[in-house]
Amino acid sequence: MLKFNLVSYYMGVLMFIFSMVGLGLGVSFYFDAKVIFVEWELFDLFGSLIIMTLLMDWMSLTFTGLVSLISSMVLFYSTYYMSGDKFMYRFIILVCLFVLSMMLMIISPNLISILLGWDGLGLVSYCLVIYYQNVKSANAGMLTILSNRVGDVAILLGIAWFSNFNSWNFYYLGFMHPPSELVFLLAMMILAAMTKSAQIPFSAWLPAAMAAPTPVSALVHSSTLVTAGVYLLIRFSSILNLNNFIFFVGTLTMFMSGLGANFESDLKKIIALSTLSQLGVMMMILGLGFMELSFFHLLSHALFKSLLFLCAGVYIHSVGDIQDIRLMGGFWRELPISSVYFMGCSLSLCGFPFLSGFYSKDLILEVYQLNMMNEFMFLIIIMGTLFTVSYSVRLSYFLFWRNMGVKTMNLMSEKSGMVYCMSVLFVLAISAGSIMSWVYFPSYFIFLPMFFKILILIGVLMVTLFSYITISYYNLNDVLMSEIKHFLGGMWYMPFISVLFFMEGLKQGKVFHSICDQGWYEYVGGQGVIYLISSLKITDSQNFLSLKNYTWFFFLMMVILMMVLV
Both 220 and 274 in one domain: the answer is no
State the SS3 of 76-143.
HHHHHHCCCCCCHHHHHHHHHHHHHHHHHHHCCCEHHHHHHHHHHHHHHHHHHHCCCCCHHHHHHHHH
Check pLDDT > 50 for residue 1: no
Highest mean pLDDT among 273-287, 377-391, 397-411: 273-287
Check pLDDT > 70 for residue 472: no
pLDDT of residue 375: 79
pLDDT of residue 354: 83
Q: How far apart are CA 301 and CA 361, in angstroms?
A: 9
Check pLDDT > 80 for residue 542: no
Tens-digit pLDDT profile for residues 54-73: 888 888 899 999 999 998 98
Tens-digit pLDDT profile for residues 389-417: 888 888 888 888 777 655 555 667 777 77
pLDDT of residue 422: 87
- Report the predicted TM-score, pTM, of the whole model to 2 decimal places: 0.82
Both 467 and 550 in one domain: the answer is no
Q: Which of residues 212, 241, 270 is at a domain's end?
A: 241
Q: How far apart are CA 319 and CA 327, in angstroms?
A: 9
274, 261 contact by CB (below 8 A)? yes
Q: How many helices (H) and strands (E) does the chain have?
A: 25, 2
Q: Which of residues 493, 523, 544 is at a domain's end?
A: 493
Both 99 and 30 in one domain: the answer is yes
Average model confidence (pLDDT) across the chain = 80
Query: Percent of the chain having pLDDT more than 90?
Result: 0
Residue 241: band (very low, low, confident or very high) from pLDDT cuts 50, 70, 90 = confident
Q: Which of residues 241, 263, 285 is at a domain's end?
A: 241
- Number of domains comprising the chain: 3
Q: Which domain holds residue 308?
A: 245-493
Both 371 and 237 in one domain: the answer is no
Residue 2: band (very low, low, confident or very high) from pLDDT cuts 50, 70, 90 = very low
pLDDT of residue 411: 64
Both 289 and 141 in one domain: the answer is no
pLDDT of residue 473: 56
Tens-digit pLDDT profile for residues 155-212: 989 888 887 777 777 777 767 777 777 888 888 888 998 898 888 888 888 888 888 8
Both 539 and 426 in one domain: the answer is no
Both 462 and 552 in one domain: the answer is no
Q: How far apart are CA 314 and CA 330, in angstroms?
A: 14
Both 305 and 426 in one domain: the answer is yes
Neighbours of 304 (CB within 10 A): 27
Check pLDDT > 60 for residue 477: no
Residues 6+ apart with CB under 8 A from 410: 318, 319, 320
